[in-house]
Structure 1
């Protein structure tokens, strides 16, 4: 079942997010297996939020553990929290 993940953490800026994203997903034409959608946005108070939709929590957690966390640690990024929600309904035009 698909899940929506909300990632946020104090001290995350657009620049830090973008640098982490570029390390974690170096080729946008070859996204991580299991990723359905990804959105990064400012929170209006100087922080940054990321919303992902994944095929399952298992593939999300693996990607975070094996790719994102090492990329973020390599940039001395602060920790972030991930909240996962079960997707009950979706509409993705064109897919």
Structure 2
């Protein structure tokens, strides 16, 4: 079952987000779900919110998210961004192009 993951990161801005993307992609761009070293990402969006940064992902399953977290968590910790707790809910409907 697909899941929706929302992560709010107070005090984080575009520069920190971009640094994380650079590490995830090995210095490349993140313009397609296949650009990151994980399987199961359906969609990704990120942007500024009042006082921080928000990431909203849709993953194929909680297992896919957990596998990605093993890659992402060390990067976040290294960048000093490891405190954000994701909110995970089951997806009722997922529409893609």
TM-score (norm 1): 0.83
Aligned length: 91
Q: CA RMSD in A?
A: 1.6
| Unaligned ranges ≥5, structure 2 | none
TM-score (norm 2): 0.82
Alignment partner of 1:79: what SS? coil
Q: Distance in 2 between matches of 1:30 and 1:47?
A: 24
| Structure 2 equivalent of residue 35 of structure 1 | 41
Return structure 1 stretches of 4+ with deviation > 6 angstroms.
none
Q: Distance in 2 between matches of 1:25 and 1:13?
A: 19
| Structure 2 equivalent of residue 56 of structure 1 | 61
Aligned positions of 1:71-82 closer than 5 A: 71-82=75-86
| Unaligned ranges ≥5, structure 1 | none
In the alignment, structure 1 residue 88 sits paired with structure 2 residue 92: yes
8 Å CA contact 2:73–2:82 kept in 1: the answer is no
